[in-house]
Amino acid sequence: MSNNRRHFLQLLGGAALAPTMASAETYPSRPVRIIAGFAPGTATDIAMRLIAQPLGARLGQEIVVENKPGAASNIAAEFVVRSPPDGTTLLAMTVTNAINATFYPHLNFDIARDIVPVIATFQSPETFVVHPSVPAKTIPEFIAYAKANPGKLNYASSGYGSAPNMAAELFKLMTGVNMLHVPYRSSLVPDLLAGQVQVFIGPMPVTIAYVRAGKLRALGVTSAKPSSALPGVPTVAEFVPGYEASIWHGIGAPKGTPQPVVDRLNEDINAVLAAPDFKAKFARIGGVALGGTPAEYGTLIKDEIAKWGKVVREAKLAPHPAK
């Protein structure tokens, strides 16, 4: 190969790399959208809006949280999967994405393959609550009561495949209790407070005010450690070893997003999450800021896909169960 031809090819290769390098160096050159698969006011939406303003200040661009609810957040996930991998369209991820990987067997994407993990942002326990009409005051008493009254207790969820549905089914598998699932498309709280459904294992921000007011009784929290937001309430795992069903949130980007862009986002979001005032904001809604590396978040996603996939298979769960 002649020296002139070699020099030409080197220049051509450098030119091909230039746009990617420049995009990473100048990122972001326009506003960034975080796509949330749930309606405004939900935990996912609240968490992302708390992050958006300080992250935008660090990046020097506006961060817009855009809600695309529907299909158990699969609409939002597919939208991001199909978006240009330039770091300007991000996915607000939750445990639901890990559940959906098995719960919906015919998705047009693979969340572990098609979304690049950026960072885990927020984690909150679910709270195991019962209506005061249920005589049990502890998890062991609840298990004994449920086994003595099979099929008498109804548990509420926010729909088939939702985190509360999966948390309850995991509890059933690990304890052998029999409860009837009552899924809701709208708010389940009125029926829960009225005692029409007696059990709910759901997000702490949804239940904590009613627990504090004495309208619901908290038997346990689903995290590995007790929550400072509900002092004196034990973990479910204290009585059901190995039980854990926390709700986590994070941010992902389309496959092919340049690594320098992923690293920049990870660094800046870690800085946002580490601020004491920011930790206090999350604590007020019953959760903790996470952070960490993209690789650590990727491991969490894969572990959660495997964990909830096992529950889906063993409990024979499906999006539209046979009647």
pTM assigned to the model? 0.85
Average pLDDT, the chain: 90
Looking at the chain, the whole-number percentage of residues with pLDDT higher than 90 is 76
List the single range of 77-81, 185-189, 243-247 with lowest mean pLDDT.
185-189
pLDDT at 4 exceeding the cut of 80: no
Overall average pLDDT of the 85-100 stretch: 97
* Distance (Å) of CA 290 to CA 121, 136, 278: 5, 34, 11
- Measured distance CA(102)–CA(115) in Å, rounded: 16
Q: What is the pLDDT at residue 49?
A: 94
List the single range of 230-239, 240-249, 280-289 with lowest mean pLDDT.
280-289
List the single range of 203-207, 285-289, 291-295 with lowest mean pLDDT.
285-289
pLDDT at 271 exceeding the cut of 90: yes
Who wins on pLDDT, 207 or 266?
Answer: 266
- Measured distance CA(115)–CA(143) in Å, rounded: 40
For residue 160, what are its two tokens? 């088939």
Q: What is the pLDDT at residue 183?
A: 93
Q: What is the pLDDT at residue 282?
A: 81
Instruction: Decide: helix, strand or coil at residue 95.
Output: helix
Amino acid at 310: K
Q: What is the pLDDT at residue 205?
A: 81
Per-residue pLDDT tens for 180-216?
Answer: 999 998 789 999 999 999 999 998 888 999 999 999 9
Per-residue pLDDT tens for 211-235?
Answer: 999 999 999 999 999 998 899 999 9
Overall average pLDDT of the 254-275 stretch: 97
Strand-pair category, 288-289 with 115-124: antiparallel
Q: What is the pLDDT at residue 20?
A: 44
Overall average pLDDT of the 271-291 stretch: 88
Ordered by where they begin, the domains of the chain are 6-124+247-314 (3.40.190.150), 126-238 (3.40.190.10)
Does residue 45 contact residue 36 with C-beta atoms inside 8 Å?
yes
Q: What is the pLDDT at residue 322?
A: 59
Residue 317 per-residue DSSP state: -
List the single range of 59-63, 128-132, 158-162, 231-235 with lowest mean pLDDT.
158-162
Read off the pLDDT band of 281 (50, 70, 90): confident
Q: What is the DSSP code string of 183-246?
A: E-SS--HHHHHHTSS-EEEEEHHHHHHHHHTTSSEEEEE-SSS--TTSTTPPBGGGTSTT----
